[in-house]
């Protein structure tokens, strides 16, 4: 796995006065996974602090090599991400010419990785997606 970029933008101060108006926090991420012999999978997205109710996580791109996954699949992945979820890094397992991907979310009560909900899907080499939930 190669981590290409991960950046926080407009980060809130950890010592900010609660009465102070603080800016939203947005984390952008890109992960690239090598699946031998020749495929690379790239996943990019954002997690943004929305309000006191939590975060909004979205996947912005999935690529199989140089070919992006069709927008309809990205929209369906995002539709299945729980509201107010804070996404942990994506997990990928190479499988033939495709990959099994799991999106995990942080439990806001204790900061651990939640057992559920999790979003699992397979990206097939021809660019289709099979959801496992």
* Separation of CA 124 from chain center: 18
Q: What is the pLDDT along the chain (133 residues), one digit of tens a residue?
A: 443 443 434 433 333 343 444 455 788 889 999 988 768 899 988 888 777 667 888 999 999 888 999 999 999 999 998 887 788 888 999 987 889 999 988 877 777 777 777 899 999 989 999 999 7
SS (HEC) of 70-84: CHHHHHHHHHHCCCE
pTM for this model (two decimals): 0.75
Domain ranges (residues) in the chain: 2-10+25-131
């Amino acid at each position: 796995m190669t981590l290409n970029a991960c950046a926080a933008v407009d980060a809130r101060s950890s010592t900010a006065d609660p009465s102070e108006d603080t800016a939203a926090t947005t984390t952008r991420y890109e992960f690239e996974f090598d699946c031998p012999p020749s495929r690379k999978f790239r996943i990019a997205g954002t997690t943004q602090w929305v309000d006191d109710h939590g975060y909004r996580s979205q996947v912005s791109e999935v690529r199989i090599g140089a070919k992006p996954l069709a927008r309809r699949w990205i929209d369906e992945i995002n539709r299945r991400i729980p509201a107010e979820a804070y996404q942990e890094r994506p997990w990928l397992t190479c499988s033939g010419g495709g990959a099994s991907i799991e999106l995990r979310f942080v439990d806001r009560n204790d900061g651990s990785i939640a057992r559920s909900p999790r979003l699992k899907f397979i990206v097939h080499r021809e660019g289709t997606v099979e959801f496992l939930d």
